[in-house]
Amino acid sequence: MPRTGQKSLTVSEKVFEEIMQERQKLSTSSKTDVGLNMFLEYLLNLHREWSKKMPRLSKFGLYDDKVGIFDSKKRQIIEVRIVDGELRCPACESDECIHIGFALSLDEVRKLMLAGEIKKPKIATL
Ligand SMILES: [Zn+2]
Q: What tens digit of pLDDT does each residue of 47-91 get?
A: 888 777 888 999 988 888 899 999 988 889 999 999 999 999 999
Looking at the structure, tell me whether residues 86 and 63 fall in a common domain. yes
123 within a domain of the structure (yes/no): no
126 within a domain of the structure (yes/no): no
What's the gap in Å between 120 CA and the centre of ligand 1?
17
Q: What's the total number of domains in the chain?
A: 2
What's the gap in Å between 88 CA and the centre of ligand 1?
8
Indicate the pTM of the whole model.
Answer: 0.62
What's the gap in Å between 66 CA and the centre of ligand 1?
13
What's the pLDDT tens digit per position in 5-49? 989 989 999 999 999 999 999 888 888 888 888 899 998 998 888
Half-sphere exposure of 116 (CA within 13 A, CB side): 0
φ, ψ for residue 49, nearest 5 deg: -65, -45
What's the gap in Å between 55 CA and the centre of ligand 1?
16
- DSSP three-state, residue 20: helix
Question: What residue numbers bound the domain in which 91 lies?
Answer: 57-114
Percent of the chain whose predicted confidence (pLDDT) is above 90? 47
